[in-house]
Protein backbone atom coordinates (compact mmCIF):
# COMPACT_ATOMS: atom_id res chain seq x y z
CA UNK A 1 0.00 0.00 0.00
CA UNK A 2 1.43 3.36 -0.97
CA UNK A 3 1.67 6.26 1.43
CA UNK A 4 -1.07 8.19 -0.40
CA UNK A 5 -3.40 5.21 -0.06
CA UNK A 6 -2.54 4.89 3.61
CA UNK A 7 -3.18 8.56 4.19
CA UNK A 8 -6.55 8.37 2.44
CA UNK A 9 -7.51 5.28 4.48
CA UNK A 10 -6.52 6.98 7.75
CA UNK A 11 -8.43 10.15 6.87
CA UNK A 12 -11.51 8.05 6.11
CA UNK A 13 -11.23 6.22 9.43
CA UNK A 14 -10.76 9.47 11.35
CA UNK A 15 -13.89 10.88 9.66
CA UNK A 16 -15.86 7.76 10.65
CA UNK A 17 -14.62 7.98 14.23
CA UNK A 18 -15.48 11.68 14.34
CA UNK A 19 -19.03 10.91 13.20
CA UNK A 20 -19.33 8.17 15.84
CA UNK A 21 -17.98 10.49 18.51
CA UNK A 22 -20.49 13.20 17.59
CA UNK A 23 -23.35 10.67 17.71
CA UNK A 24 -22.25 9.38 21.13
CA UNK A 25 -21.84 12.91 22.46
CA UNK A 26 -25.36 13.84 21.35
CA UNK A 27 -26.78 10.62 22.83
CA UNK A 28 -25.05 11.20 26.17
CA UNK A 29 -26.22 14.83 26.23
CA UNK A 30 -29.80 13.64 25.67
CA UNK A 31 -29.50 11.12 28.50
CA UNK A 32 -28.05 13.78 30.81
CA UNK A 33 -30.94 16.14 29.96
CA UNK A 34 -33.47 13.42 30.76
CA UNK A 35 -31.74 12.65 34.06
CA UNK A 36 -31.74 16.33 34.98
CA UNK A 37 -35.43 16.53 34.14
CA UNK A 38 -36.18 13.51 36.32
CA UNK A 39 -34.22 14.81 39.30
CA UNK A 40 -35.89 18.23 39.07
CA UNK A 41 -39.39 16.80 38.69
CA UNK A 42 -41.40 16.46 41.83
CA UNK A 43 -42.91 13.01 41.62
CA UNK A 44 -45.61 12.52 44.24
CA UNK A 45 -45.41 9.35 46.28
CA UNK A 46 -48.73 7.55 46.15
CA UNK A 47 -49.97 6.03 49.40
CA UNK A 48 -50.15 2.27 49.49
CA UNK A 49 -53.74 1.17 49.62
CA UNK A 50 -54.34 -1.56 52.14
CA UNK A 51 -56.35 -4.54 51.05
CA UNK A 52 -56.73 -8.10 52.23
CA UNK A 53 -53.46 -9.20 50.55
CA UNK A 54 -51.39 -6.38 52.05
CA UNK A 55 -49.69 -7.40 55.30
CA UNK A 56 -50.54 -5.13 58.20
CA UNK A 57 -50.11 -5.29 61.99
CA UNK A 58 -53.80 -6.12 62.35
CA UNK A 59 -53.71 -9.49 60.56
CA UNK A 60 -50.84 -11.01 62.63
CA UNK A 61 -48.37 -11.14 59.75
CA UNK A 62 -44.99 -12.54 60.73
CA UNK A 63 -42.11 -12.35 58.25
CA UNK A 64 -40.29 -15.55 57.35
CA UNK A 65 -36.62 -16.06 58.22
CA UNK A 66 -33.82 -14.97 55.94
CA UNK A 67 -32.57 -17.30 53.23
CA UNK A 68 -29.07 -18.48 54.00
CA UNK A 69 -26.69 -19.13 51.09
CA UNK A 70 -25.01 -22.48 50.81
CA UNK A 71 -21.46 -22.60 52.18
CA UNK A 72 -18.58 -22.57 49.70
CA UNK A 73 -17.32 -25.93 48.54
CA UNK A 74 -14.05 -27.26 49.95
CA UNK A 75 -10.95 -25.84 48.30
CA UNK A 76 -8.82 -28.56 46.78
CA UNK A 77 -5.69 -26.43 46.30
CA UNK A 78 -6.10 -25.92 42.53
CA UNK A 79 -4.76 -22.40 41.94
CA UNK A 80 -6.76 -21.99 38.73
CA UNK A 81 -9.96 -22.24 40.79
CA UNK A 82 -8.74 -20.03 43.63
CA UNK A 83 -10.52 -16.85 42.53
CA UNK A 84 -13.84 -18.70 42.22
CA UNK A 85 -13.37 -20.09 45.73
CA UNK A 86 -12.61 -16.64 47.16
CA UNK A 87 -15.66 -15.19 45.40
CA UNK A 88 -17.88 -17.91 46.85
CA UNK A 89 -16.43 -17.22 50.33
CA UNK A 90 -17.17 -13.49 49.99
CA UNK A 91 -20.70 -14.24 48.83
CA UNK A 92 -21.26 -16.56 51.78
CA UNK A 93 -19.89 -14.07 54.31
Per-residue pLDDT of the chain (93 residues; tens, 9 = 90+): 788 899 999 999 999 999 999 999 999 999 888 887 777 766 555 555 555 555 555 555 556 677 777 888 888 888 888 888 888 888 888
For residue 38, give its domain range. Answer: 3-44+68-92
Separation CA 2–CA 81 (nearest Å): 50
Separation CA 56–CA 66 (nearest Å): 20
At residue 36, the pLDDT reads 78
At residue 74, the pLDDT reads 86
Q: Is 24 a domain residue? A: yes
Q: Is 63 a domain residue? A: no
Tell me the three-class secondary structure of the chain, residue by residue: CCHHHHHHHHHHHHHHHHHHHHHHHHHHHHHHHHHHHHHHCCCCCCCCCCCCCCCCHHHCCCCCCCCCCCCCCCCCCCHHHHHHHHHHHHHHC
Q: Is 60 a domain residue? A: no
Q: Is 55 a domain residue? A: no
Q: Is 87 a domain residue? A: yes
Q: Is 26 a domain residue? A: yes
At residue 8, the pLDDT reads 93
Q: Is 28 a domain residue? A: yes
Number of domains comprising the chain: 1
Among candidates 64, 68, 76, 56, which has minimal Cα distance to 92? Answer: 68
Q: Is 62 a domain residue? A: no
CA atoms within 13 A on the CB side of 28: 6
Amino acid sequence: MESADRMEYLEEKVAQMSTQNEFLTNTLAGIADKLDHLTQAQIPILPILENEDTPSPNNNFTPKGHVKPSPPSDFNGDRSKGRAFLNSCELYI
